[in-house]
């Protein structure tokens, strides 16, 4: 009787929410139709429908406005239903097509098809995207299986797969710019269409998937009570969950093939509708679809109103606006996720400390590898230099052209080496505090905060001295990391606060998405050189000279201080009780070490841009080689980081010479598979 009364009470609420959302969607759609660079407004379109319009208005409406608005509606419905199904199947409010890597998998599949030069129609292209998304979500569950399937672990696996797929897509675009022309803008999500064919064709596929979704409504409602309870009530969980994933991937892949990867919409819509009191999936699916379509159109309209194309501004992709909206929502939701890591931490268990001779040999081998990487980096590029020519040039007896090439390459290689060492030490510092081997500086918001601050200096004070850039970047990185830690702190038993290492990374991912969206909007709004700005954001040592080493002086000094303060840093991964019992002021130590990591990462970002994964790969390898002692691990990690960045820089200059691949893309291609292996290896943590 109580359940029936509750159901009757919720039905009017669902109808009320659905009706209100339908009205809002209609109004937003009308406004969206009236926006564009052609000067045709809502009034002109209304005149057309009343028979008083002109042919120009009809051409604009049918050729550009209607396809764009229809695309927003179709994509919104697909993402809303897909997100609802994924959240229902995983019982995870942070699960969505983008956070579980489905969008990124579909994206790289479409780029791969374009790279091969094969011309596919809308449906075959959607099929390729479907296979890519399906493989991505399968990989996510392969990485997160084998231990306790916590929400935090699934989301970390999703972020890993998304980063790997995005890096692969960027690499393919760099390999063949002509074949993949236009995909970079599409890769940030755009509703622009050249006609009605694609939205109508893929819209039919999405409509079919959306009509299948209600068949899963009741089983998903029962699965919300737990798998065992659902099975006791007759639900075949082992069939329902894969079926929900299949429909969700079909919908999201169709949306990606039509408009590119648009993030966070499939996350925000179901969560918001639940907060409005709509719980059952029979009502949740359509209302989430309505809200999601409203969000997509509203985001695109906001982009056009903020920086009107009619005023000569470059268009802001709708995916950038949804990331700006969704990043803070993701951070707020991540704060409430229970990961189970607050007490134990997530650090990898490392073998006992290596003795002095072992450490000396390992460090010597690392330095030798660095020398070899520098030598190879001096030789290869758009102009190849032989070993004899290189030796003669270094001894001061080389030819003029060879000397010129070496004098150009040597400074950037030195900058790459120092930057790689600083990034590795930054990762060591951040991982020591949050006790998580996945806590790479860019994953916890440091690089994003540094990028926002550096871009602000360029825009607001263009005449500022060069020293202002690393200072601003350092401040931005420290502030953003402080914000991430503040948001990530959760409440434990007895009212005390704890620093959950997995939650820090999850909140940091939301912060990273928000800051990168801010940078993109600022770059477009200021009409900066977008290609140059995005190259810097991808991480590049292009045209760096010895003056950039001055920017890295402070990070190097901070790295030395970390070695000097090895004892308190060694105690941080031990948890809370033991360091306090040994007399360590834990709060101050964490703050200082986190600040040191932020200065290291942010200062390096100011010098060479956002180079990722170095702060993850190098510290972990150093732990495996020399153990946990900070005094030994920091130098080892610095050497390994220097080798990684120098080798990546050389590879990026040589692979497509004379075109350069930004060093950040190369390190991502190395680091993403390593992160996949690391997450799989530590699945039982």
pLDDT 10s digits, 191-231: 988 888 899 999 999 999 999 999 999 999 999 888 888 88
Are 322 and 374 members of one domain? no
Range of the domain at 452: 356-681
pLDDT of 56 higher than 90: no
Domain-located, residue 423:
yes
- The size of the chain, in residues, is 685
Strands 497-499 and 489-491: antiparallel
Q: For residue 570, with 0-12 CB atoms within 10 Å meaning exposed, 13-18 middle and 19 or more buried, which class applies?
A: middle
Are 362 and 327 members of one domain? no
15 φ, ψ (degrees, to nearest 5): -65, -40
Residue 429 near residue 562 (C-beta atoms within 8 A): yes
Are 419 and 549 members of one domain? yes
Are 395 and 299 members of one domain? no
Domain count, the chain: 2
The phi-psi region of residue 7 (left if phi > 0; otherwise alpha if psi is between -120 and 50; otherwise beta) is: alpha
Strand partners, 491: 497
Are 448 and 518 members of one domain? yes
Domain-located, residue 566:
yes
Residues 571, 491, 144, CA angle at the centre, nearest 5°?
75
pLDDT at 605: 81
pLDDT at 637: 93
C-alpha span between 510 and 523 (Å, rounded) = 20
Are 295 and 383 members of one domain? no
Are 329 and 366 members of one domain? no
C-alpha span between 33 and 27 (Å, rounded) = 10
Domain-located, residue 503:
yes
Nearest alpha-carbon partner for 192 in 35, 386, 426, 425: 35
pLDDT at 106: 92
Are 270 and 418 members of one domain? no
Domain-located, residue 668:
yes
Q: What is the 3-state secondary structure (H, E, C) of 253-320?
A: HHHHHHHCCCCCHHHHHHHHHHHCCCCCHHHHHHHHHHHHHHHHHHHHHHHHHHCCHHHCCCCCCHHH
pLDDT of 618 higher than 50: yes
Domain-located, residue 635:
yes
Section 249-253 average pLDDT: 94
Q: Give the max Cα distance, the chain.
A: 95
Are 523 and 623 members of one domain? yes
Residue for token pair 């002095």: 356
Residue for token pair 């998998």: 105
* Banded pLDDT at 349 (limits 50, 70, 90): very low
* Digit-coded pLDDT (tens) for 134-173: 999 988 887 776 544 567 677 877 887 887 888 788 777 7
C-alpha span between 242 and 251 (Å, rounded) = 14
DSSP element (H, E) containing 404 = helix 400-434
Tokens of 567: 């004892």
pLDDT at 177: 59
Nearest alpha-carbon partner for 644 in 464, 416, 360: 416
SS3 677: helix
pLDDT of 327 higher than 80: yes
Section 438-457 average pLDDT: 80
Residue 562 near residue 593 (C-beta atoms within 8 A): yes
Are 273 and 228 members of one domain? yes
- The CATH number given to whatever domain includes residue 655 is 1.10.3470.10
Domain-located, residue 149:
yes
Domain-located, residue 426:
yes
Are 414 and 560 members of one domain? yes
pLDDT of 402 higher than 60: yes
Domain-located, residue 45:
no
Are 476 and 617 members of one domain? yes
C-alpha span between 163 and 675 (Å, rounded) = 10
For residues 229-255, one letter each, b for 16 or more C-beta atoms within 10 angstroms of the residue's C-beta and e for the rest, the string is ebeeeebebeebbebbbbbbbbbbbbb
Residue 641 C-alpha from the chain's centroid: 22
């Amino acid at each position: 009787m109580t359940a029936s009364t509750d159901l009757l009470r919720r039905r009017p609420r669902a109808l009320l929410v659905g009706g209100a959302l339908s009205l809002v969607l209609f109004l937003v759609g009308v406004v969206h139709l009236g926006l564009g660079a052609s000067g045709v407004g809502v009034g002109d379109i209304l005149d057309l429908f009343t028979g008083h319009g002109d042919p120009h208005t009809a051409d604009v409406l049918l050729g550009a406005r209607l396809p764009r608005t229809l695309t927003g509606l179709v994509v919104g419905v697909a993402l809303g239903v897909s997100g609802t199904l994924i959240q229902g199947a995983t019982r995870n409010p942070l699960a969505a097509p983008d956070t579980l890597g489905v969008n990124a998998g579909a994206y790289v599949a479409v780029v791969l098809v374009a790279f091969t030069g094969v011309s596919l129609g809308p449906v075959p292209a959607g099929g390729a995207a479907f296979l890519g998304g399906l493989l991505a979500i399968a990989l996510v569950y392969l990485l997160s299986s084998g231990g306790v399937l916590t929400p935090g672990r699934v989301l970390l696996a999703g972020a890993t797969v998304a980063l790997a797929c995005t890096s692969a897509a960027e690499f393919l675009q760099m390999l063949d710019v002509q074949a993949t022309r236009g995909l970079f803008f599409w890769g940030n999500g755009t509703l622009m269409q050249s006609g009605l064919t694609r939205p109508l064709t893929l819209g039919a596929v999405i409509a079919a998937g959306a009509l299948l979704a209600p068949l899963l409504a009741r089983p998903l409602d029962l699965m919300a009570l737990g798998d065992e309870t659902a099975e006791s009530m007759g639900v075949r969980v082992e069939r329902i969950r894969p079926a929900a994933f299949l429909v969700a991937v079909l919908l999201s892949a169709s949306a990606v093939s039509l408009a590119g990867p648009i993030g966070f919409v499939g996350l925000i819509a179901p969560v918001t509708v639940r907060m409005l009191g709509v719980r059952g999936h029979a009502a949740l699916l359509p209302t989430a679809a309505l809200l999601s379509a409203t969000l997509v159109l509203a985001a695109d309209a906001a982009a056009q109103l903020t920086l009107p194309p009619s005023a000569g501004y470059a268009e802001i992709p709708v995916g950038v606006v949804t990331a700006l909206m969704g990043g803070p929502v993701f951070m707020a939701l991540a704060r409430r996720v229970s990961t189970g890591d607050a007490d134990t931490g997530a650090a990898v268990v490392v073998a006992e400390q290596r003795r002095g001779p072992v450490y000396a040999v390992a460090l010597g081998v690392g330095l030798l590898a660095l020398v070899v990487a520098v030598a190879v980096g001096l030789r290869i590029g758009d102009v190849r230099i032989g070993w004899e020519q290189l030796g003669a040039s270094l001894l001061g007896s080389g030819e003029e052209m060879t000397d010129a090439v070496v004098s150009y390459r040597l400074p950037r290689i030195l900058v790459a080496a120092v930057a790689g060492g600083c990034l590795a030490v930054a990762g060591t510092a951040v991982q020591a505090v949050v006790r998580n081997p996945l806590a790479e500086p860019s994953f916890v918001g440091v690089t994003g905060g540094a990028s926002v601050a550096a871009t602000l200096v360029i825009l607001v004070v263009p005449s500022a001295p060069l020293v202002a850039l690393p200072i601003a970047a350092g401040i931005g990185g420290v502030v953003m990391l402080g914000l991430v830690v503040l948001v990530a702190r959760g409440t434990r038993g007895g009212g005390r606060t704890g620093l959950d290492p997995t939650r820090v990374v999850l909140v940091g991912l939301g912060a990273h998405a928000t800051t990168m969206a801010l940078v993109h909007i600022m770059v477009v709004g200021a009409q900066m050189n977008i290609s140059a700005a995005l190259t810097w954001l991808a991480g590049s040592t292009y045209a760096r000279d010895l003056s950039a080493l001055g920017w890295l002086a402070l990070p190097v000094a901070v790295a030395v201080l970390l070695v000097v303060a090895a004892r308190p840093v060694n105690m941080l991964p031990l948890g809370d009780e033991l360091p306090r019992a040994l007399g360590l002021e834990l709060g101050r130590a964490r703050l200082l070490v986190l600040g040191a990591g932020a200065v290291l990462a942010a200062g390096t970002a100011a010098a060479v841009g956002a180079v990722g994964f170095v702060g993850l790969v190098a510290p972990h390898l150093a732990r495996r080689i020399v153990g946990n002692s900070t005094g030994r691990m920091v130098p080892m990690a610095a050497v390994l980081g220097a080798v990684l960045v120098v080798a990546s820089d050389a590879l990026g200059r040589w692979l497509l010479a004379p075109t350069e691949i930004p060093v950040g893309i190369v390190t991502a291609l190395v680091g993403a598979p390593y992160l996949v292996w690391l997450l799989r290896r530590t699945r039982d943590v």
